[in-house]
Amino acid sequence: MSNKNATDKQGIIDGLNEDLAREYQAIIQYVVFSSSLKGAEYGDIAEELKLHASEELEHALEVAKQIDYLGGDPTVKSKEAGYSQDSKTMLEIDLKSEQETIRNYRDRIRQAESAGEYALSEKLRGIIAQEQDHEIDLKDALGLR
């Protein structure tokens, strides 16, 4: 392997580990917020957030597998989860996290494609489509659409 290839690969592994840490954070936030949202107006979104939690777990499993394929070690560290006692603030925290996640996956897709890792970029496109659905669900619940 040339030095450039090795550097590209290491950059992708490092980036994917940041993504994995964000997936852990998302799981924590969705588990906690789906069970503590208060108010009749948030009943539907609370159910939706439970589904998000399981999708984030699938993303974490997929990203960890991709890191392993590339010869890296999947991280055990989560990004710090946000918290609030206020239902609307919880949803705003989730929305901000999703938007940051989407930005980062876009970068990772570019990185993967410029390194010729097309199978990885395909997997990431599947994940980013779900993150975009999560963003829409949160915007709907917050009345932002």
In the complex, which residues of this chain contact Fe ion (CB under 5 A)?
Answer: 23, 56, 59, 98, 131, 134
CA atoms within 13 A on the CB side of 81: 17
Please, what is the minimum distance in Å from the beta carbon of residue 59 to Fe ion?
A: 3
Of 44 and 58, the one with the shorter C-beta distance to Fe ion is 58
Of 8 and 131, the one with the shorter C-beta distance to Fe ion is 131
Please, what is the minimum distance in Å from the beta carbon of residue 56 to Fe ion?
A: 4
Distance set, CA 16 to CA 24, 26, 60, 95, 111 (Å): 12, 15, 10, 21, 10
Q: For residues 28 and 81, is the Cβ–Cβ distance under 8 A?
A: yes
Greatest alpha-carbon span in the chain? 59
Q: For residues 12 and 112, is the Cβ–Cβ distance under 8 A?
A: yes
Please, what is the minimum distance in Å from the beta carbon of residue 49 to Fe ion?
A: 10
Please, what is the minimum distance in Å from the beta carbon of residue 133 to Fe ion?
A: 8
Of 59 and 108, the one with the shorter C-beta distance to Fe ion is 59
For 68, the 3-state DSSP assignment is helix
Helices of type H across the chain: 3-36, 43-69, 87-114, 118-141
Of 22 and 117, the one with the shorter C-beta distance to Fe ion is 22
